[in-house]
Each structure stands twice: as structure tokens, then as C-alpha cells.
Amino acid sequence: MAAKEDKKQKIMESALTLFAEYDYYRTTTAMVARAAGVTQPYIFHFFDNKEDLYIAVLKRAYERIHDTFMAVEAPADQLVGAMGASFFSLMETHRSEVLMVMQAYTISEAGIKQHSAELYKTIFDEVTAKFQRAGLPDAEEKAIRFMSMGLLVTLSEVLDLTEIKQSILSTKN
């Protein structure tokens, strides 16, 4: 059973890399199979279709971002900055996952769009709640700014806009 689970993980890792690099529409299950070292029909032992595979990979990537944000502990006056630093660190260690989550809202397939909306809403709600628990004034506004910055960081990463990324790095909260 462990070998089968290892194959599933390999498929998901390969799909993640390809989805992040080529996007949902240009990535095929044949490409994923080739990258994972399995046959294309073997993918369908685990996933009903490409959309199901994408959602599974998206969910795992989201969980990493969510867990990273929720694990940040810092005094209220340093919380936003600490969470921003954790996001930049995550961009370095799990770039493909972050890019995939941050670009998922562009997919027009109804199931993916709905799943992506739920993930973004959950992140927003939980970041807002974290800021409220820390006693930050205007917690919702700070969550809006924090998530907006995350999208801008991702955009600057994808488009290689180093000057914008540097500007973001030099700002506080």
C-alpha cells in the first residue's frame, strides 16, 4: 500500500510543478504521467480527471500557506511583518505551491473557481481572526492589505518585477 501512496504523491508533486509552470490549461495528464514516471491511465486510479487532480494539489498547497500563517507567533506590533516574512520564506522554499494558489483564481472551470474562492475566503477570514486575536486595530483592513501585498508579491515574482518586490521588502507592515 505504501508504494501506491508514494506513486500518488509523485503524481501530485509532478502535477504541482507542471501546473505552476504551464498553468492548468496547458498542462495535460500525459505530461503529468511522463513527469511522474507512470502511465496516463494510472493517474485515474487516484483522480477522476485533471480538474480533480488540480483541486487535490491546490488543497495541499493551500494547507501549507494556511499552516505557515497560523504558526506565526509575534507581538501584535510585529505580527504583520512576521507573517510577511513567513510568506517570503515560503516563496523561496515552496515557490510552485505559492504561485499555484495565487494564480488559481484565474481558472474558469466552475469546480476550481468555487474551490479557489473557498480557499481564499478561508485564508482571509483566518488572517483577519488572527489579527483580531492579537488586538490589532482595523484587523480586517490589515488583512485586506496583507493579502493584497501577497498577490502583488506573487505578481512581481511571476513577471520578474524585481523593483516592486524590493519596494515591498523595504516597507513595514
Question: Using CA atoms, how far apart are residues 20 and 12, in angstroms rounded to an integer?
Answer: 12
Q: At what angle do helices 95-103 and 50-71 cross, to 10 degrees?
A: 110
Segments of the chain scoring below 70 in pLDDT: 1, 172-173
Q: Is 166 helix (H, G, I), strand (E, B) or coil?
A: helix
C-alpha 42/C-alpha 144 separation (Å) is: 42
What pLDDT was estimated at residue 173? Answer: 47
Q: Which residues contact 132 (CB under 8 A, 6 or more apart)?
A: 139
